[in-house]
């Protein structure tokens, strides 16, 4: 099972709907959930920006031009798509604490806009990952499927969560990042920034294969012998250790999650049945080449939760065949994997 294939195995059963997404950017609203309170003082201007029709890198360049600084002076916590309405923070290093007129940064047009929602000063540059998560409001149009079945599936997702796959965005527009990673491991020279992207794609491909195997055996949200546990909302892991009533209660309460490997050097932390699944899922020649390449790059083994639980999941039928979904996800997870558990959701607008 390859991450570039149209669908990875679903945990909740066959598709219950077909729908179109991103008919307009307004149908895909993403709002960063702040990871900290601004200090109110310092040399970094912290901007909360709403943008449409531009991705994060494009907005960062525009902010740098507006401020008269290099792009290295701009910080942001996460990457957001172009074909969406997104709200996110940017920081601008202005040592003299003199900012140009904010009104001159704002733009408005038929295809794109940028508005400043809030601004304040902060002591540090905004680092990548400095967010608590993202809140999504998504509109699906031309929904085909029985409403009762769709709502039943949504209730199951709310109660049980979904497999925490890496989304298709990780693998490139044409799904070729893994092939490019293989070529890089074989000796092709790549730019430093591309190297980071390709290493992430290779790791994500291997993780998705392990998770797909656990979904197929219905163990993606269950304990296996030799399981390594990941604490909810953190990167902290523990185990393996004997499964007992306390762990079962914590598993049911979503306080801990089964985990899968983000491949690197060293021995797998998992043991027993859990390790056997991971080894079997990654036993093919192409998987072996990806594993060897990651190990040669010096990456160390890490773990990622196998399941993902959307919080505050709500839905509303705006019209007979228009469904609005709202939910929040932690950093590093993908709204598209939630939609995939519903069925075939076609993205009419391209992200980037």
Contacts of 47 (CB under 8 A, 6+ apart): 63, 89, 90, 91, 92, 116, 118, 119
Given pLDDT bands bounded at 50, 70 and 90, which one contains residue 349? low
Query: Taking the CA of residue 303 as centre, how many other CA atoms within 13 Å lie in the half-sphere pointing to its CB?
Result: 28
Residue with tokens 């060897």: 292
On whether the CB atoms of residues 55 and 82 are closer than 8 A, the answer is yes
Q: Which of 200-209, 291-300, 341-350 has the lowest mean pLDDT?
A: 341-350
Quick one: pLDDT at residue 4? 37
Helix (H) or strand (E) holding 139: strand 131-144
Quick one: pLDDT at residue 169? 84
Query: Taking the CA of residue 43 as centre, how many other CA atoms within 13 Å lie in the half-sphere pointing to its CB?
Result: 8
Report angle CA 349, 56, 342 to the nearest 5 degrees.
Answer: 40
Residue with tokens 């919080």: 311
Tell me the CA end-to-end span of the chain in Å, nearest whole number: 25
In 3D space, the residue among 86, 89, 67 whose CA is nearest the CA of residue 76 turns out to be 89
On whether the CB atoms of residues 22 and 339 are closer than 8 A, the answer is no
User: What are the tokens at 342?
Assistant: 């519903």
Fold: same for 36-129 and 162-308: no
Question: Could you tell me what percent of the chain has a pLDDT over 70?
Answer: 96
Q: Mean pLDDT across the stretch 278-288?
A: 95
Given pLDDT bands bounded at 50, 70 and 90, which one contains residue 193? confident
Quick one: pLDDT at residue 88? 97
On whether the CB atoms of residues 4 and 81 are closer than 8 A, the answer is no
Query: What CATH number does the domain located at 162-308 have?
Result: 3.30.2340.10
Query: Taking the CA of residue 81 as centre, how many other CA atoms within 13 Å lie in the half-sphere pointing to its CB?
Result: 25
Tell me whether the omega of the peptide bond preceding residue 240 falls within 30 degrees of 0, making it cis: yes
Cα 32 to Cα 133, 137, 329, 335: the distances in Å are: 6, 12, 10, 13
CATH superfamily membership of 36-129? TruD, catalytic domain (3.30.2350.20)
Quick one: pLDDT at residue 189? 93
Distance of CA 6 to the CA centre of its chain: 18
Instruction: List the domain boundaries for the chain.
Output: 36-129, 162-308
In tens, the pLDDT along 127-162 reads: 998 999 999 999 999 999 999 999 999 999 999 999
Catalytic residue list: 81
| pLDDT of 313 higher than 80 | yes
* 3-class DSSP assignment, residue 285: helix
Q: Region of 218 please: left (phi>0), alpha (psi -120 to 50) or beta.
A: left
On whether the CB atoms of residues 153 and 16 are closer than 8 A, the answer is yes
3-state SS, 217-275, equals CCCCCCCCCCCCEEECCCCCEECCCCCCHHHHHHHHCCCEEEEEEECCECCCCCCHHHH
Q: Mean pLDDT across the stretch 92-121?
A: 91
Say how many C-beta atoms besides its own lie within 10 A of residue 196's C-beta: 11
pTM: 0.91
Q: Mean pLDDT across the stretch 231-249?
A: 96
């Amino acid at each position: 099972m390859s991450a570039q294939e149209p669908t990875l195995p679903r945990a909740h059963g066959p598709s219950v709907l077909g729908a179109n997404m991103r008919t307009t950017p307004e149908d895909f609203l993403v709002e960063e959930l702040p990871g900290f309170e601004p200090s109110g003082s310092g040399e970094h201007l912290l901007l909360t920006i709403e943008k449409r029709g531009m991705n994060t890198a494009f907005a960062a360049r525009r902010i740098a031009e507006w401020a008269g600084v290099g792009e290295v002076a701009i910080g942001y916590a996460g990457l957001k798509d172009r074909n969406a309405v997104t709200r996110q923070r940017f920081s601008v290093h202005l040592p003299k604490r003199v900012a140009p007129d904010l009104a001159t940064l704002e733009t408005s047009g038929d295809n794109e806009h940028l508005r400043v929602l809030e601004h304040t000063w902060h002591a540090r540059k905004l680092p990548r990952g400095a967010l608590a998560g993202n809140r999504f409001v998504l509109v699906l149009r031309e929904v085909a499927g029985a409403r009762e079945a769709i709502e039943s599936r949504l209730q199951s997702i709310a109660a049980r969560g979904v497999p925490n796959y890496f989304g298709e965005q990780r693998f490139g527009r044409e799904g070729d990042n893994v092939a490019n990673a293989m070529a890089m491991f074989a000796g092709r020279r790549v730019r430093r920034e591309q190297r980071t992207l390709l290493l992430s794609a290779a790791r994500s491909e291997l993780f998705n294969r392990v998770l797909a195997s656990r979904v197929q055996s219905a163990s993606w949200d269950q304990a296996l012998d030799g399981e390594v546990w990941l604490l909810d909302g953190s990167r902290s892991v523990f185990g393996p250790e004997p499964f007992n009533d306390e762990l079962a209660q914590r598993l049911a309460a979503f306080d801990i999650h089964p985990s899968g490997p983000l491949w690197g050097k060293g021995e797998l932390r998992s043991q027993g049945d859990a390790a056997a699944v991971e080894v079997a899922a990654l036993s093919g020649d192409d998987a072996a080449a990806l594993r060897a390449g990651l190990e040669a790059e010096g990456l160390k083994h890490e773990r990622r939760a196998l399941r993902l639980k959307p919080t505050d999941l709500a839905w509303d039928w705006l019209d007979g065949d228009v469904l609005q979904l709202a939910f929040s996800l932690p950093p590093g997870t993908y709204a598209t994997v939630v939609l995939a558990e519903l069925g075939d959701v076609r993205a009419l607008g391209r992200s980037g």
